[in-house]
Amino acid sequence: MGTVCWKLQHEDNKHVIKLKHNTFLGNSLVYFDDKKIFKKRAFLGEEKKHSFSLEGQECTLSIIPRGLEYDYSFEMNGQGLPLLKEEEKLPMEWWMWCFVIACAIIPIVFIESLIVWAIGFGGAYKCISVARKRGEDKKTRILYCVRTTVLSWVYFGIFYLIITKITDYFLKIYM
C-alpha cells in the first residue's frame, strides 16, 4: 500500500492530507490530520477523481494510472498542492540477500504446491520489505528477517508433515 501526503496551510493552521492507496485492490483511504475522511474503491488501472469538501473548501484528489505505477494530485479550489516527498527506502544490503535466498529456496527445492510457493516467496518478500524499512536500526531489521525466515521454514515443516501424514494414511488404506 502506497502512502502519499500533501501539506495544507489554511487560516494559519497547518494540515496534512494523507492518501493510502492499495494499488492491487484499488482501495483508497484519505485522511485529514489522521482523521479518516473517506474510503473509496476503484478497479485496477482505473483513473479516479474524488471530490469532497474540507473546511468549506472544494477539493479534488486524482489517482491516475501510469503503467504499473500511479500519479497522484490534490487540488483545493482549483489550486494544485505539491506532493510531500515520500519516505525513501533504504538500499538493499548484502545481508538481506542471505534471508531472501533462505526463504526463496523453499519453493525452488520443494516444488510441491502453491502453498509452498506462498510460504517461500511470501517470506522472501517480507524480508525485503523489512530490510529496506526506514525508522528501524540495522540490528532490529536483521532480527525481523531472522524471525521471518525461521517462521517460513517452520510453516513449511508443518505443511510438509501434514502432507506426509495424509499421504501415508491414504497409502495404507488403498494398498
- Do the domain assignments include residue 141? yes
| Structural domain containing residue 160 | 94-174
Answer yes or no: is pLDDT of 161 > 60.
yes
The arithmetic mean of pLDDT across residues 35-49, rounded, is 74
Structural domain count of the chain: 2
For residues 88 and 21, what is the distance between their CA atoms, to the nearest angstrom?
A: 17
> Do 142 and 119 belong to one domain?
yes
Q: What is the pLDDT of residues 76-130, one digit of tens each?
A: 777 766 655 555 566 778 888 899 999 989 888 877 678 888 989 999 989 988 8
Taken as a whole, the chain contains a residue count of 175
For the question of whether the overall pTM of this predicted structure is more than 0.85, the answer is no
Note whether 102 and 168 are same-domain residues.
yes
Q: Do both 75 and 119 map to the same domain?
A: no
158 in the same domain as 105: yes
Single out the residue of 33, 67, 38, 34 nearest to residue 50, CA to CA: 38
pLDDT at position 134, please?
67
CATH of the domain at 57: 2.40.128.180
Which of 81, 102, 133 finishes a domain? 81
Same domain, 74 and 117: no
Q: Are 45 and 113 members of one domain?
A: no
Q: Is 166 in a helix, a strand, or coil?
A: helix
